[in-house]
């Protein structure tokens, strides 16, 4: 729940009603100390859907950066608590019926408090976003 080092790459594809969706994500964690980490990541999705009544094609890319500070409550039982600050910068493009186009730039700043017990994870998140439509 509290990654502090290493990286992860995921690629997925799925068939949705009348179309397809492809996506990828990559995240790299840098261990700053035993109790803190910095993460950089990126992800992208592409989806296309078409039938007799509707057509859509969407493309989205996001870059993210997060800082995590954690502390062990009871390492033996896996109980931890921590907080995280992050920022996401996204660009989303959409093409819909009759060539209606949408182009968004999105910046989101978020803060989270996480409490992990032996059996449950609790997360409280506050996010503020700025959405610019072009």
* Share of the chain residues as helix, strand and coil, in percent rounded to the nearest 5: 5, 80, 15
Q: What is the pLDDT of residues 71-114, one digit of tens each?
A: 877 767 778 889 999 999 999 998 887 777 888 899 999 999 99
Question: 31 lies in a domain?
Answer: yes
CA distance 91 to 103: 8
- Whether 68 maps to a domain, the answer reads yes
Res 67 pLDDT > 60: yes
- pLDDT at res. 3: 63
Domain interval for residue 25? 6-133
Residue 1 lies in a domain: no
| Residue 76 CB contacts under 8 Å (≥ 6 apart), including other chains | none
pLDDT digits (tens, 9 = 90+) for 119-131: 888 999 999 998 8
State the pTM of this model. 0.77
CA quadruple 117, 121, 126, 129: dihedral sign: positive
The mean of the pLDDT values for the chain is: 87
Name every residue whose Cβ is closer than 8 Å to that of residue 106 and which is 6 or more positions away in sequence.
88, 89, 90, 91, 92, 129, 130, 131, 132
Instruction: Please tell me the predicted confidence (pLDDT) of residue 96.
Output: 83
Q: What total of structural domains would you count in the chain?
A: 1
Cα–Cα distance measured from residue 64 to residue 92, given in angstroms and rounded to the nearest whole number: 15
Give the domain CATH number at 77: 2.40.160
- Asked if the structure places residue 12 within a domain, the reply is yes
């Amino acid at each position: 729940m509290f990654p502090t080092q290493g990286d992860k790459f995921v690629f997925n594809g799925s068939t949705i009603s009348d179309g397809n969706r492809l996506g990828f994500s990559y995240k790299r964690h840098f261990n700053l100390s035993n109790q803190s980490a910095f993460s950089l990541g990126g992800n992208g999705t592409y989806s296309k859907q078409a039938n007799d009544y509707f057509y859509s094609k969407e493309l989205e890319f996001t870059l993210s950066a997060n800082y995590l500070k954690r502390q062990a409550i009871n390492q033996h039982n896996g109980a931890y608590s921590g907080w995280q600050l992050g920022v996401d910068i996204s660009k989303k493009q959409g093409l819909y019926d009759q060539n209606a186009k949408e182009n968004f730039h999105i910046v989101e700043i978020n803060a989270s408090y996480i409490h992990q017990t032996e059996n449950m994870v609790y997360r409280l998140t506050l996010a503020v976003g700025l959405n610019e439509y072009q």
